[in-house]
């Protein structure tokens, strides 16, 4: 998981419960085949300044962004295609699981700034229009397709150089 910069982590604590591709256990996002990616935002409880808080996505302003940490921390990332829909979702596992209302959002894949090197998608919820404070949540993802990233090309170049020099 990527390291969090202190300033961004302080202004966007990771308290959101999310599920990328809620109907897909592997959380696969295909940059070439998928137009949108669904993200479920579930109710969550957490401690803030010693007090128990509840985040209910069905009762909050719809100010979400999805992408890698690097794109989202400065106000980037994809915005949902609409206000989403309230849906009954299972929260918890096994015998403790119960149905709760959550928010199902669709994000345009091409605007997420995710690439083949990403293994985590971050959802930012902005407290207000300034996009300086809010909450985050993250989910492991498998990214398929897309253009090779700069990191992919650099690794390929290193491999080629080692192969040529090694002769």
Percent of the chain at pLDDT above 90?
A: 40
Could you tell me the pLDDT band of residue 1, with boundaries at 50, 70 and 90? very low
Which pLDDT tens digit goes with each residue over 42-89? 988 877 778 888 888 998 888 899 999 887 667 789 999 999 999 988
- Which residues neighbour 123 within 8 Å (Cβ) at sequence distance 6 or greater? 16, 18, 39, 41, 64, 65, 66, 136, 137, 138, 139
Q: How far is CA 146 from the centre of its chain?
A: 18
User: In this predicted structure, what is the pLDDT of residue 79?
Assistant: 95
Burial per residue of 87-126, b for 16 or more beta-carbon CB atoms within 10 angstroms, e otherwise: eebebeeeeeeeebebbbbbbebebbbbbbebebbbbbbb
Question: CA quadruple 111, 117, 122, 128: dihedral positive or negative?
Answer: negative
Look at residue 83 in the predicted model and tell me its pLDDT: 94
What pLDDT is stored for residue 40 in this prediction? 95
pLDDT attached to residue 37? 96
Please determine, for residue 125, whether its predicted confidence score (pLDDT) is greater than 70. yes
The model's pTM: 0.77
Mean pLDDT of the chain: 82
Cα–Cα distance for residue pair 49/154, rounded to 1 Å = 44
Q: What is the pLDDT of residue 116?
A: 87
Report the 10 Å Cβ neighbour count for 68: 23
Q: What is the pLDDT of residues 131-150, one digit of tens each?
A: 555 788 999 999 998 876 66
Q: Is the predicted pLDDT of residue 152 greater than 80, yes or no? A: no
SS3 154: helix
d(CA 163, CA 71): 34
pLDDT at residue number 71: 78
Listing DSSP states for 64-121 in one string gives: EEEE-HHHHTTT-SBPPSSS-EEEEEEESSGGG-EEEEEEEEEEEGGGS---TT--EE
With CA atoms as reference, report the closest residue to 30 among 118, 145, 149.
145
CA distance linking residue 63 with residue 65, whole number of Å: 7
């Amino acid at each position: 998981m990527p390291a969090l910069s202190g300033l961004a982590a302080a202004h966007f604590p990771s308290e959101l419960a999310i599920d990328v591709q809620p109907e897909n256990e592997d959380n696969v996002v295909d940059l070439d085949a998928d137009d949108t990616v669904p993200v479920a935002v579930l109710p969550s409880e957490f401690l803030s300044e010693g007090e128990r808080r509840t985040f209910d996505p069905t009762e909050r302003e719809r100010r979400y962004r999805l992408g890698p940490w690097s794109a989202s921390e400065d106000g980037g990332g994809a915005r949902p295609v609409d206000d989403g829909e309230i849906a009954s979702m299972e929260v918890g596992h096994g015998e403790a699981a119960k149905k709760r209302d959550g928010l199902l959002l669709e994000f345009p894949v091409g605007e997420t700034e995710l690439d083949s090197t990403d293994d985590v998608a971050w959802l930012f919820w902005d407290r207000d229009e300034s996009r300086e404070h809010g909450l985050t949540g993250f989910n492991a993802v498998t990214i398929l397709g897309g253009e090779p990233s700069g990191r992919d090309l650099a690794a390929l170049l290193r491999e080629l150089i080692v192969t040529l020099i090694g002769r």
